[in-house]
C-alpha cells in the first residue's frame, strides 16, 4: 500500500474548493497501459495483421526514373493579351518549374502516351472494359510521381509498372508527348487573330475618347489637371485674404471694445475753474480756542496746577486744536464746469472704429461666398477625379495594347516557327528499364507496426477518459475532485491479527498517523470526530475504521471511541473485536459502550440496528456526549445505498473520509456521495482508494 502526498496546512484553514492533487508520476502514466492491456493488444493486432495480409498479396513493382532540366528562358516573359489590362511580367524559378510540372501532369499528355504505348501492354486488366482507357489514365496518374528536386530547376519523374521495359518506354513517351504539348502551349497567336483584336481595340479607343470629351463638357473644363491647380490656387488666395480680413476685424473690434470701456470711465464734464476763501469752520474754531485760552489764564491765576477746572480747560483746548488740524484752512466758494474734450475725442474714434468693423464684416461676407463657391468647385473636381483618371488610364492601356499588337503582327510568324527549337527544357536523364523491383513489404510492416501502436495508444487514452471507474489515485482526484489521502492495495492481506492483541490488519502505523495528524490540525472543541463513509456495501469502511482506532490507541490517545452506526446483522464492530479474541468489558449496566480489553479503545453497541431509526436531534446529543468523554471519536457509517444515517451525522463530524473501492465504485456515485455530505454540512477532507490493484510488474514498479 502507498499514501499520497498531503498538504497538511491546507486543512488548518476553513474548508475551500481548492483542489489538492497528488503529483503526476510515471507510475500513474503507465498504469492505464497495463490495466487496458487486452484492449490495447487487440487494437494493435488489427492493423498489424492487415499489414501482413497486404504483404502476402504484394507484387513486385518496377520504377523507371527520368529527369528534366527546366531553363529560365524567354518563354516565361509574359505579355498580357491585347484585350487585358495587365502589364508585361516575368515569373520566378518556382513558378516556372511548377508550370512545367502541371503540363507534365495534364490528362491529355497521359492519354496520348497511353494510346501510343498501348493500353493492353500497360494495363491489361483494363483492355477489355468499355471505359478502359479512362480508367487506365486515372491509374497512370496514381503510378506517376512528378517532383521538383529542392533548390534546383530539375524535375524528377518516376513511373511504377509491373514490367520493367514497359515502365521505361511509357515514361520516355510521356516526356516526348510533353515536349510536343509544351510547344503548343507556348505557341504565339497568328496574324489573323491579332488583326481582329486590333479592330476591337480601335473601336474601344474611340468609345473612350467620346466618353472623355462628354465628361469634360459636362463638368466645364478643358484640361483637368490645369483646372484643378487653378482652383486650388484661387482657394489658397481667398483663404489668405479671409485670414487677413479676420485679423483686421479682430483688431478694429478690439480697439472699439477698448474705446467703449474708456468712454464709460471718462466723465462727460470736467471742472473748468474754482474760487477759494478762508474756511468759516476754521474761523469759529480759532475764536473758540482764543476764548478757552483766556479762561485758562484767568483760572491759572486763581487756582493751582492740577485743579479740576484747569484739567478740564486743558482737555477742551486740546480737542479744539485737534479739530483745527482736521478741518481744511480754505473752502471752495465758486466752481465752474464744462464739456470734457477727451470724452468727445473718444466718441469720435469709437464711431470710426465701429464703422470700420461693419465695413470689414460686409467685405468678409462677400469673400466667404466666393470661397464657398471655389471650395464647392474643388470638391466637385476631387469627386470626379477618380472617374476621369480611370477614363484616362483606360485610354492609355488601350493605346499601349494597340502598340503591342503592331509588334506582335511583325514577330508572330518568326516566333511560331522557332518555338520548338528554342524549347527551354532539356532531358538530362532518359528512362531506362530498372534492374531491380520493389515489393514495399518492409514499408508495409513498419506502417502496420506504427498504426498498431497508434491504435493501442488511442484505445488506452479513450478507455481511460470514458471509464467511470477509478484505478489510480489520480483517476479518483480527476473524476471526483477530492484529494486522495491513502491508497490501500487489494493484494495486501495485512498483518495477521494476534488473538487478544489490538493491531491493525491493513493500515500501516505511518498511514494511520497521517490521518490522525490531519485531525489534529482541525479546529474543534472537545474530542475530535472523524467519519468514514462509502457509497456501497463491502468497500472496506469498517475494516479501515477498526485499523485506524487501533493505531490511534497505540499512538498514545488517552481514550478513543469507535461509534458503530447501523452495521449489517452480525457484523458490528463489537462482534468483530470479540471474534478476534478481545475481551469486551461493558462500561455501564446498559451495555451500550464496551472497553476493548485493557486498552483505551471503546466501542459502542450497534446504534440504529435492527431497523431502529435514530432521530437527528438524538445524534447531536450522542456526539456531544462523546466529545466530552473521549479524545477521538471514529464513526463507522453505513453505506449510503443502504442508509442515510451517515449523511445525517456528517455535519456533526469534524472531518469526513470517503472510502472508494478501486475499479468498482463509479465516479458519478462517488461525486454524488461527496455532494450529499457537503450539502448536509459535512467537510470532506479527502478520500481513501481501497482495494487497489497494481497492474505494473513489481520489478518495473520498483524501478520507476
Helices (H), 152-279: 164-185, 191-219, 224-265
- Whether 78 shows a pLDDT value over 90: the answer reads no
Percent of the chain with pLDDT over 70: 85
pLDDT band at 6 (very low <50, low <70, confident <90, very high): very low
Domain 469-494+504-703, CATH: 3.40.50.300
Cβ-contact 470, 662 below 8 angstroms = yes
Structure-block grid coordinates of residue 160: 511504377
E strand segments, 451-503: 484-489
Residue 332 pLDDT > 50, yes or no?
A: yes
Asked if pLDDT for residue 517 goes beyond 60, the answer is: yes
Contact 11, 521 (CB under 8 A): yes
Place of cell 492481506: 493
Is the model's pLDDT at 77 over the cut of 80? no
From the candidate CATH numbers 1.10.12, 3.40.640, 3.30.1890, 3.40.190, the one assigned to the domain spanning 62-187+419-429: 3.30.1890
Classify the C-alpha dihedral 444-449-455-461 as positive or negative: negative
Buried b (16+ CB within 10 A) or exposed e, 487-513: bbbeeeebeebeeeebebbbbbeebbb
The length of the chain is 704
Report pLDDT for 410. Answer: 60
Backbone angles phi, psi at 528, to 5 degrees: -80, 145
Q: Is the pLDDT of residue 418 over 70?
A: no
Residues 426-479 have pLDDT tens digits of 888 888 888 887 777 788 889 999 999 999 999 988 888 888 888 888 888 888
Position 408 scores a pLDDT of: 67
Indicate if the alpha-carbon torsion angle 688, 571, 608, 618 is positive or negative: negative
Give the residue carrying C-alpha cell 479527502.
686
Three-state secondary structure of 323-335: HHHHCCCEEEEEE
> Per-residue pLDDT for 110 more than 50?
yes
How confident is the model over 561-596, as pLDDT tens digits?
999 998 887 788 888 888 888 888 888 777 788 988
**What is the reported pLDDT for 85?**
46
The pLDDT of residue 497 is 53
Higher pLDDT, 612 or 121: 121
Kind of pairing between the strands at 584-586 and 560-564: unpaired
Torsion sign, CA atoms 627, 630, 632, 638? negative
Binned at pLDDT 50, 70 and 90, residue 74 comes out as low
Q: Label residue 325 left, alpha or beta by phi (over 0 means left) and psi (-120 to 50 means alpha).
A: alpha
φ, ψ of residue 2 to 5 degrees: the values are -140, 170
The residues, ordered by sequence, that sit 6+ positions from 627 with a Cβ below 8 Å of its Cβ are: 525, 526, 527, 529, 633
| Bridge partners (DSSP) listed for residue 655 | 530
What's the whole-number average pLDDT of the chain? 81
- The C-alpha atoms of residue 121 and residue 37 are separated, in whole angstroms, by 51
pLDDT for 5 beyond 50: no
Mean pLDDT of 250-261: 85
Residue 20 has pLDDT above 80, yes or no: no
pLDDT higher at 82 or 377: 377
Query: CB of 448 within 8 A of CB of 51?
Result: yes
Looking at residue 1, its pLDDT comes to: 44
Rounded average pLDDT over 343-367: 83
Query: What does the pLDDT average to over 176-191?
Result: 74
Q: Classify the C-alpha dihedral 248-252-255-261 as positive or negative.
A: negative
586: β partners: 594
Check pLDDT > 50 for residue 4.
no
Q: What average pLDDT does the segment 373-394 reach?
A: 87
Residue, of 359 and 658, whose pLDDT is higher? 658
Res 502 pLDDT > 80: no
Could you tell me the sign of the dihedral formed by the alpha carbons of 532, 534, 537, 540, in that order?
negative
By CB neighbour count within 10 A (0-12 exposed, 13-18 middle, 19+ buried), where does 133 fall? middle
pLDDT digits (tens, 9 = 90+) for 542-569: 989 998 988 888 866 678 999 999 888 7
Give strand ranges (E) for 104-165: 144-148, 154-161
Q: Which candidate, 399, 523, 470, 359, places its Cα nearest to that of 692?
A: 470
Residue entry with cell 492483541:
501
DSSP E strand stretches across 469-604: 484-489, 528-534, 560-564, 584-586, 593-596, 601-604
Burial class of residue 315, CB neighbours in 10 A (0-12, 13-18, 19+): exposed
* Mean of pLDDT values over 524-538: 87
pLDDT band with cut points at 50, 70 and 90 for residue 17? very low
Q: What is the pLDDT of residue 374?
A: 86
pLDDT of residue 671: 93
Task: Pick the more confident residue, 690 or 423.
Answer: 690
pLDDT for res 557: 65
What is the side-by-side order of every strand in the sheet holding 655-661?
Answer: 2-3, 484-489, 684-692, 655-661, 528-534, 632-636, 560-564, 601-604, 593-596, 584-586
Cβ-based neighbour number of residue 592 at 10 Å: 13
DSSP string for 261-276: HHHHHS-SEEEEEEEE
Q: What is the pLDDT of residue 636?
A: 92
Whether the predicted pLDDT of 186 surpasses 50: yes
Report the pLDDT value the prediction gives residue 529, as an integer from 0 to 100. Answer: 92
Query: Can you give the pLDDT at residue 371?
Result: 86
DSSP-derived secondary structure letter, 607 = B
| Residue, of 445 and 328, whose pLDDT is higher | 445
Phi, psi angles (nearest 5°) of residue 199: -60, -40
pLDDT at 613 over 70: yes
Mean pLDDT to the nearest integer, 124-137 = 87
Amino acid at each position: 500500500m502507498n499514501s499520497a502526498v498531503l498538504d497538511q496546512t491546507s486543512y488548518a484553514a476553513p474548508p475551500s474548493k481548492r483542489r489538492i492533487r497528488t503529483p503526476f508520476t510515471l507510475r500513474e502514466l503507465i498504469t492505464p497501459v497495463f490495466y487496458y492491456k487486452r484492449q490495447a493488444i487487440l487494437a494493435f493486432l488489427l492493423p498489424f495483421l492487415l499489414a501482413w495480409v497486404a504483404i502476402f498479396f504484394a507484387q513486385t513493382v518496377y520504377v523507371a526514373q527520368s529527369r528534366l532540366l527546366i531553363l529560365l528562358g524567354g518563354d516565361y516573359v509574359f505579355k498580357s493579351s491585347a484585350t487585358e489590362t495587365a502589364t508585361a511580367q516575368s515569373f520566378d524559378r518556382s513558378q516556372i518549374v511548377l508550370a512545367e510540372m502541371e503540363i507534365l501532369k495534364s490528362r491529355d499528355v497521359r492519354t496520348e502516351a497511353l494510346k501510343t504505348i498501348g493500353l493492353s501492354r500497360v494495363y491489361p486488366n483494363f483492355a477489355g472494359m468499355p471505359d478502359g482507357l479512362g480508367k487506365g489514365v486515372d491509374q497512370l496518374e496514381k503510378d506517376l510521381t512528378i517532383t521538383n528536386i529542392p533548390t534546383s530547376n530539375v524535375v524528377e519523374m518516376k513511373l511504377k509498372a509491373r514490367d520493367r521495359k514497359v515502365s521505361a518506354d511509357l515514361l520516355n513517351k510521356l516526356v516526348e508527348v510533353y515536349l510536343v504539348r509544351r510547344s503548343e502551349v507556348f505557341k504565339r497567336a497568328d496574324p489573323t487573330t491579332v488583326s481582329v483584336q486590333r479592330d476591337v481595340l480601335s473601336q474601344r479607343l474611340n468609345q473612350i475618347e467620346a466618353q472623355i470629351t462628354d465628361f469634360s463638357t459636362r463638368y466645364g473644363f478643358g484640361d483637368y489637371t490645369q483646372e484643378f491647380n487653378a482652383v486650388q490656387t484661387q482657394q489658397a488666395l481667398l483663404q489668405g485674404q479671409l485670414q487677413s480680413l479676420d485679423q483686421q476685424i479682430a483688431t478694429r473690434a478690439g480697439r472699439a471694445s477698448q474705446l467703449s470701456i474708456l468712454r464709460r470711465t471718462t466723465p462727460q464734464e470736467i471742472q473748468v475753474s474754482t474760487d477759494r476763501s478762508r474756511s468759516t469752520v476754521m474761523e469759529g474754531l480759532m475764536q473758540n480756542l482764543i476764548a478757552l485760552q483766556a479762561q485758562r489764564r484767568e483760572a491759572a491765576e486763581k487756582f493751582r496746577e492740577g485743579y479740576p477746572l484747569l484739567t478740564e480747560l486743558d482737555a477742551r483746548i486740546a480737542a479744539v486744536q485737534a479739530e483745527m488740524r482736521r478741518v481744511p484752512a480754505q473752502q471752495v466758494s465758486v466752481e465752474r464746469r464744462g464739456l470734457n474734450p477727451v470724452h468727445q475725442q473718444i466718441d469720435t474714434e469709437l464711431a470710426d472704429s465701429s464703422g470700420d468693423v461693419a465695413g470689414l464684416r460686409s467685405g468678409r461676407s462677400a469673400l466667404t461666398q466666393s470661397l464657398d463657391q471655389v471650395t464647392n468647385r474643388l470638391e466637385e473636381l476631387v469627386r470626379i477625379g477618380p472617374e476621369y483618371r480611370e477614363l484616362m488610364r483606360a485610354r492609355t492601356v488601350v493605346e499601349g495594347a494597340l502598340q503591342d499588337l503592331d509588334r506582335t503582327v511583325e514577330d508572330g510568324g518568326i516566333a511560331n516557327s522557332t518555338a520548338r527549337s528554342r524549347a527551354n527544357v532539356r532531358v538530362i536523364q532518359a528512362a531506362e528499364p530498372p534492374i531491380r523491383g520493389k515489393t514495399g513489404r518492409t514499408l508495409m510492416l513498419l506502417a502496420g507496426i506504427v498504426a498498431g501502436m497508434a491504435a493501442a495508444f488511442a484505445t488506452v487514452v479513450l478507455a481511460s477518459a470514458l471509464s467511470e471507474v477509478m484505478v489510480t489515485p489520480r483517476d479518483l482526484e480527476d473524476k471526483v475532485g477530492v484529494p486522495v489521502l491513502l491508497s490501500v492495495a487489494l493484494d495486501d492481506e495485512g498483518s495477521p491479527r494476534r488473538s487478544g492483541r489490538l493491531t491493525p490488519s491493513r493500515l500501516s502505523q505511518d498511514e494511520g498517523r497521517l490521518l490522525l495528524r490531519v485531525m489534529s490540525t482541525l479546529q474543534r472543541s472537545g474530542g475530535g470526530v472523524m467519519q468514514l463513509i462509502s457509497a456501497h456495501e463491502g468497500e472496506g469502511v469498517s475494516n479501515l475504521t477498526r485499523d485506524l482506532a487501533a493505531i490511534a490507541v497505540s499512538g498514545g490517545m488517552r481514550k478513543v471511541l469507535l461509534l458503530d452506526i447501523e452495521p449489517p446483522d452480525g457484523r458490528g464492530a463489537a462482534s468483530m473485536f470479540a471474534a478476534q479474541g478481545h475481551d469486551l468489558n461493558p462500561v455501564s449496566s446498559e451495555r451500550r459502550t464496551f472497553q476493548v480489553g485493557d486498552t483505551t479503545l471503546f466501542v459502542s453497541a450497534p446504534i440504529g440496528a435492527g431497523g431502529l431509526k435514530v432521530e437527528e436531534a438524538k445524534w447531536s446529543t450522542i456526539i456531544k456526549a462523546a466529545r466530552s468523554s473521549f479524545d477521538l471519536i471514529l464513526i463507522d457509517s453505513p453505506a449510503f445505498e443502504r442508509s442515510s444515517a451517515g449523511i445525517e451525522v456528517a455535519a456533526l463530524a469534524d472531518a469526513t473520509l470517503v472510502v472508494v473501492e478501486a475499479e468498482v465504485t463509479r465516479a458519478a456515485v462517488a461525486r454524488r456521495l461527496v455532494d450529499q455530505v457537503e450539502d448536509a454540512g459535512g467537510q470532506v477532507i479527502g478520500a481513501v482508494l481501497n482495494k487497489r490493484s497494481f497492474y505494473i510488474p513489481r520489478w518495473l514498479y520498483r524501478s520507476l
